[in-house]
Amino acid sequence: MDFQQIKRNNPIESVVVKYLGEANKDDWWWCPFHKEESPSFHLYERNNQKRFKCFGCKAQGDVVDFIKKLFDIGTREAMTKLTNTTFEPAPPPRGNVKTKIPAPVNLKKRTIKYHAQVSNSIAQAYWSSQGVTPTAIDHFKLGWAPRCPTLPVKYEGNTASVTIPYLNQGAVTNLKHRLIVPNGYGKYRYETKGLKNQLFNLDTLYREEEFEYLLPSELLIIEGEIKPMVVDYINGFRAIGIPGASSWQTQWASLIPKEKIKQIYIGLDPGVEQDIINKIAADLHGQGFAMNILSLLCKPDDMFVRYGANASDFMAIIKQSRKYGG
């Protein structure tokens, strides 16, 4: 057998996916060689050749080494398996790794825990830089975590994050981490696997107090989480947030109570494609809401935090908004 030719014909990326399935979004797998509580199996490149390494049990090697260890066989048998066109499933993972069912995460308890740590000086500096006041920190139950729990187990960068719970009538429906230093892993990560995008600040739809600058039947839809904090709670405009304009889902339009809200203003960040804005407006208009679209020259929170605008300035932009006719 031509050892090198067999390895060239069987790239380790394809072989690993065949036996272990797709990696998670950070390119880590559950190691099949030992019991573990978070994925620690990874592929890397050395001398222009892809290899595997488990940061838990320290197993490593090339594609032949992977098959040898997976099936507990010798080199010749491993090479035969790689050349065999008939697929043979791998034996069960050592320690039944994938049969372990983790206990459900209590997002409310985690929120309380992180909120109790928000006095951390780095967290305070971050929220202050975003224009989020101490009373807003308390209202939204914002927090601080020394390590985001969904970072890869062997991640060695800055692991700290501020935490943003999604509150809805006393329940915590989502919990997001904003990494202080993203370091290639994205700014935002969820508290646990399985959490998905949701609308932020739905609680505002059920607040009894009147807003200073909008009628009780009016609502502003903007992007993200920090923007609604600044625009809604701090500056007096009832607002909810989409976690990125492109993440909009049609069914979200039905979450807004039609018996209470009649007029909606869309104020997305500059640069959002008009097709996305029209899609959101059409979905909401289809639910019977009157729709207006704001023309913004900067992000709405930046108006207040960076450029010193006041609520009257923002209200003037709302009054100049374009009516959407469907």
Q: What is the pLDDT of residue 8?
A: 81
Q: What CATH code is carried by the domain that includes residue 257?
A: 3.40.1360.10
Q: For residue 169, what are the contacts with CB-CB under 8 A and spacing of at least 6?
A: 202, 203, 206
- For residue 293, the SS3 value is strand
Lowest model confidence (mean pLDDT) among 124-138, 169-183, 288-302, 310-324: 169-183
Q: Calculate mean pLDDT across residues 167-193.
A: 86
Q: How confident is the model over 222-234, as a mean pLDDT?
A: 95
The closest of 258, 210, 259, 218 to 240, measured between CA atoms, is 218
Domain boundary among 134, 160, 190: 190
- The predicted-structure confidence for 275-306, as pLDDT tens digits, reads as follows 999 999 999 999 999 999 999 999 999 999 99
For residue 285, what are the domain limits?
202-324
Tokens at 164, concatenated? 């943003």
Residue 98 has pLDDT above 70, yes or no: no
CATH code: domain of residue 17: 3.90.580.10
Q: Do 62 and 80 belong together in one domain?
A: yes
Q: Is the pLDDT of residue 60 over 80?
A: yes
Query: CA-to-CA distance for 301 and 309, rounded, in angstroms?
Result: 10
141 and 49 within one domain: no
Q: Is the pTM of this model over 0.75?
A: no
In a domain, 135, yes or no: yes
User: Where does a domain end: 190, 224, 251?
Assistant: 190
Q: What is the pLDDT of residue 194?
A: 72
> Any idea what the CATH number is for the domain that residue 123 is in?
3.90.980.10
- Same domain, residue pair 150 and 219: no
197 domain residue, yes or no: no
- pLDDT recorded at residue 104: 60
Q: What pLDDT does residue 319 have? A: 94
Q: Are residues 95 and 112 in the same domain?
A: no
Overall domain count for the chain = 3
The token pair that represents 138 in the structure block: 């308390």
Is the pLDDT assigned to residue 326 strictly greater than 60? no
Is residue 29 very low, low, confident or very high in pLDDT (cuts 50, 70, 90)? confident
Residue 196 inside a domain? The answer is no
The answer, yes or no, to whether residue 153 has pLDDT greater than 80, is no
In a domain, residue 67? The reply is: yes
- Rounded to whole angstroms, what are the CA distances from 294 to 80, 220, 234, 283? 65, 10, 20, 17
What whole-number distance in Å separates Cα of residue 68 and Cα of residue 75?
A: 6
Do 91 and 113 share a domain, yes or no?
Answer: no
Q: Over the chain, what is the mean pLDDT?
A: 87
